[in-house]
Structure 1
Amino acid sequence: MSFELPALPYDSHLLEPRLAKSWIEHRYMGDHLDHLRVLNRWAAVQGQAALSLDDGLRAASEEVRHHAQEAWNLTLFWHCLTPRPEPLVEPLATMIQRQYGSVEGMKEACIRILGESGESAAWVWVLRQDDSLVIATTGTGEPMTTEGEPLLVLDVLGDSEALERLWPLINWPFAARNAQD
């Protein structure tokens, strides 16, 4: 089995005007596909066609780990967005209310943490640790070092304006399902 580009869960133009179709296609058909091509070359050298992203994350090569991490991040990221936003649902709604007061409060916390991370932050994560939420950032290709289950990830490249553009597109039902797993 080779690494294949997963289908987008929506047509690339449906996130406009918040995200331009050209940006999505560049990130999806350019960057995401490039990461998978590198992983396929690695799998061929290994002589194994049935390697997984998890295998890539544990590989000895820093380059392979980088590409596996970015492919994993992007795969999750596409599902964290939706062209038809729905309201926040349980149990995530209660977790956010208890910890941040509101979704707006959580967004402010994300912006603050992104600001503290500076330009090195490429991804903003919301993780579940038991009954609480943790916001963390990682750089391009960096592994997550904060403990917890990822509920959602946003591709921000160190830019709080990117977070502002993405926030109204968050797929809350998807994040809430991740909170239940």
Structure 2
Amino acid sequence: MLTNRRSTMPMKHVRMPSWHAGSKTTTSALPTYTIDNTPKSLTPAILTSTTQSLPGYTTTRLIGAIHGTASLTHKVPKSFMKSLSGSFTGSWGEPKPLTQVLYQARDQAIERMTKDAIEKGANAVIGLQIRETEVMGCIVVSVSATACLVEKERRGVKRDSAQENPF
């Protein structure tokens, strides 16, 4: 217990000691980096492509359009702003904390989109489009694509186009 200088009334210690686990900042507020200290994007758990087809797979059914959105606000912790301003040290360079936050927002939007695809019964996503815009001071990352069912092409089995409908 500490005492207030103006009185002898004991006061509780407001600040936790640095060795206490509660005094540490949460890892979710700070950007995560890989071993080589560069921002990376995570891959979704479903087959995803920006093209209209997947090589080595046959599209058997188109399910429909799917979407995902994530947004970032300007209210960020002081520690993040400090690390961001530290990356602008006199020379031109990439602000890696900002890039990492954008990667996390994009990954979150793609994750929401793939959950939508899985809920609709899809096992693949084709035609993925990613858009980053600013709305009322917030950065909005929105993704859209087409959910579909695909099957792996069988090797060694020749397709007889006369017996199957080529269209």
Shared fold per TM-score greater than 0.5: no
Q: More strand by proportion, 1 or 2? A: 2
The TM tier, using the shorter chain, reads: under 0.3
TM-score computed with the length of structure 2 as normaliser? 0.26
Which one has more relative contact order, counting CA pairs under 8 Å at least 6 apart? 2
